[in-house]
Structure 1
Amino acid sequence: MPRSLQSVALLAAITLVLGGCASTGGMSPEPSPQAQTMPAEAQRSGKAQKLWQVFERYRGTPYEYGGTSAQGFDCSGFIVTAFREGLGQQLPRTTSQMLALGDVVHPGQIQPGDVVFFQIGGKEQHAGIYMGGDRFVHASTSSGVIQSSISGYYWQGRLTEARRFD
């Protein structure tokens, strides 16, 4: 096989592997230090405070496809770990399984602790935990476990739905 064809095949394989929980590298920059504080709305929610404590413990942990530990997380792996460690609650492992369960939350009624889903590449492939004040915590492919703005450059217009797991 010619070298250029090998490169295309390798790139295609990498794209398929990373597509399961995608957030495009370079498009979700690390938030500024002042944006790293817990949103006031989350401070009023016991559920969000517990999830924030887990976020603080794993902040900066690198992205790893299929990861569910301090060595690396994918987006759903971080959510599952946060709910298990923070709330003692077992959630489904993948974003598609999460989308099939939980209570649907209408856009105007999203609360801290709800799981938010984003459309990347034509389908819901990325998820995070809403913290209030336009902020959510998640495992980004480009920056690992971080806090981001739902209305930020990359995420604006990509939020598709939310689920509540009580």
Structure 2
Amino acid sequence: MTLNWMKRTVIATTCCFALLSGATLIDGINVGQAHAAAATNASAKADSIIALAKSLKGKVTYKFGTNNPSKLIFDCSSFTKYVFGKYGVDLKWGTKSQRLQGTYVSKSNLKPGDLIFFDNGKTSTINHVGIYIGNGQFIHNTIGSNMNGIYIRDLSDYSKRYSTARRVL
């Protein structure tokens, strides 16, 4: 009992001095440093996910409603599920599910690795997802006239279809 009381007193005293000096400690860990490390890890993970997505350009085929990793045939959400999953991020399949994962992020606060969601331009129903890669661009698996597979596009070209974004890293 006395030893536990002494440990708590030392930790409390250390925390008080840490707070007075501008650091925040929890169980002897500098929270500011831990937060910075987590942000760095998220940024490094985002870079890896984006690099993988880019490396699949010309190798992936788009097919609606398909999740076939062995043949690299995906729809938009099974593609994001696949590349994020390679780095330990468990996404559900489907834009309806993915749009609820992670935390909301505003368009003005997008970071590389954020999931961005679009409607079809006619209704507000979300039906497409891509990965923000920075500099106003995103990568996605799509199909359209003269395209099938992985493409990098300017987000501004999709401004009328942009719906929301989620941070999952």
Q: How does 1:33-48 map to 2 (within 5 A)?
A: 45-48=43-46
> RMSD in angstroms over aligned alpha carbons?
1.7
Partner of 2:84: 83
Counterpart residue type for residue 135 of structure 1: Q
Q: Does the residue aligned with 1:160 lie in a helix, a strand or coil?
A: strand
Partner of 1:56: 54
Q: In 2, Cα distance between the equivalents of 1:52 and 1:164?
A: 14
Q: Does the residue aligned with 1:151 lie in a helix, a strand or coil?
A: helix
| Corresponding residue to 2:130 among 104, 128, 149 | 128
Q: In 1, Cα distance between the equivalents of 2:57 and 2:97?
A: 25
Structure showing greater radius of gyration is: 2
Q: CA deviation at 1:101?
A: 2.2
Q: Does the residue aligned with 1:141 lie in a helix, a strand or coil?
A: strand
Partner of 1:98: 98
Q: Is 1:71–2:76 an aligned residue pair? A: no
Q: Does the residue aligned with 1:66 lie in a helix, a strand or coil?
A: coil
Q: CA deviation at 1:100?
A: 2.1
When residues 47 and 71 of structure 1 are mapped into structure 2, their CA distance, relative to the original with a 3 A threshold, is closer
Partner of 1:139: 141
Counterpart residue type for residue 84 of structure 2: F
Runs of 4 or more above 3 Å deviation:
none
Q: Does the residue aligned with 2:133 lie in a helix, a strand or coil?
A: strand
State the TM-score, normalized to the length of structure 2.
Answer: 0.66
Identity among equivalent positions (%) equals: 29
Q: In 2, Cα distance between the equivalents of 1:71 and 1:111?
A: 26
Q: Does the residue aligned with 2:151 lie in a helix, a strand or coil?
A: strand
Partner of 1:156: 159
**8 A Cα contact 2:50 2:113, kept in partner:** no
Counterpart residue type for residue 163 of structure 1: R
Q: CA deviation at 1:52?
A: 1.9
**8 A Cα contact 1:113 1:129, kept in partner:** yes
